[in-house]
Structures are given as C-alpha cells and as structure tokens.
Amino acid sequence: HAPNFWTGSKVQIDYGEWTITLDSFAVSTGKSTHHYTRFRAPYVNADGFRFGIHRRHIFTGLAKWMGVQDVEVGHKEFDEAFVIQGNDEKKVQALFANEGIRNLIAAQPSIAFCVRGDQGWFSRIHPDGVDELYSQVGGIIKDVERLKELFALFGLVLDQLCELGSAYQTSPQVKL
C-alpha cells in the first residue's frame, strides 16, 4: 500500500538551498472542475535564462506556423517527441545535453515544464531576480514512482542550471 502524499495541502522537499513544492489545485469552469498537480521551485536566476518544454501534440504544427520557435537539442527521438523553446539556444542545448534530464522527461506520459518568470508588476510572483521552475500536469498524480521522478527532474535541472551559470546555489528567500 503506497503512502498517501495528499494528507496535507502540499509536500515540500529541500534540495540543497532550494525547496521543491508539490501541490494540487482545481479550476472550475462552471460546468466542470479540472484538477492539476504542480511542482514549483523558486531559484535566483543569474542571467534571465528561460526555457519551456512540452510533448508534441496535434496543434504543434499550428504553433510553428504562428512563429513559435522550436529549438532542436541534437537528440533525434527527443526532438521528435517534444517542443522546446528558450531565449538562449546554446543554453537550451546544453541543458538538454544532460541524459538524466532527457530520460526523466521522456518517462512522463504528459508534461509541461518551464522557467516561469515575473508576470509583470501587478502580478509579481517573486522578488526581483527570482524565477521558478514550474511543471503542471492534468489530474492528481498518485503514482509514487512518478512523483519521485518529477522531484528528481527538478533537482537535476537546478543542478544543471547552476553548472550553466543560470542559477545561484543560494536560497531565493521565498516561501510557497
């Protein structure tokens, strides 16, 4: 019998100076309610590097037609399965050169994973210079192994961002 991760409103795991937070939320459309599982990890973004990745889907071709840039990272199967965007192509390629990161992402049946930055002055999420790794998945994930994989993915990406000079290994001084 697997442990129940949902006994509290959230689960937080310290990883070095960072805290990775897992929680769930619901969005009501009036007629139905959609549940989501999300992971967040605020960190000090040293150089403003941002990226986003999601699995290819039926609307991917339309997004490309509308000018969404898809960065290829040089691993054919991975490039074919995912749409990757970023504001620094070389850093995107260096980040996804990490085989552990690629394997953990590829193991997820669905994933949307990005660096989420400041949303503007009126909707500031964190203090200046602090962004967050952010992942949101439809539904409530109860598979303990999958949850462990997502925590591991966040840890690997935070480490890799430090190696690339895009994150500082200092506490962002943010509580979620």
The pLDDT of residue 124 is: 54
pLDDT in tens, 32-86: 989 999 999 999 999 999 999 988 865 545 445 444 567 888 999 999 899 898 8
Angle made by CA atoms 61, 53, 108, in degrees to the nearest 5: 105
The pLDDT of residue 125 is: 62
The pLDDT of residue 126 is: 62
Mean pLDDT of the region 92-114: 94
Nearest in space to 36 (alpha carbons), one of 26, 45, 28: 26
Angle made by CA atoms 81, 151, 77, in degrees to the nearest 5: 15
pLDDT in tens, 110-168: 888 999 876 555 455 666 778 999 999 989 999 999 999 999 999 999 999 999 999 98
CB-neighbour burial class of residue 166 (10 A; exposed 0-12, middle 13-18, buried 19+):
buried
Residue 91 pLDDT greater than 80, yes or no: yes
The pLDDT of residue 174 is: 80
The CA-atom distances, in angstroms, between 59 and each of 9, 55, 63, 81, 105 are: 34, 11, 6, 13, 20
pLDDT band for position 2 (cuts 50, 70, 90): very low
Residue 99 pLDDT greater than 90, yes or no: yes
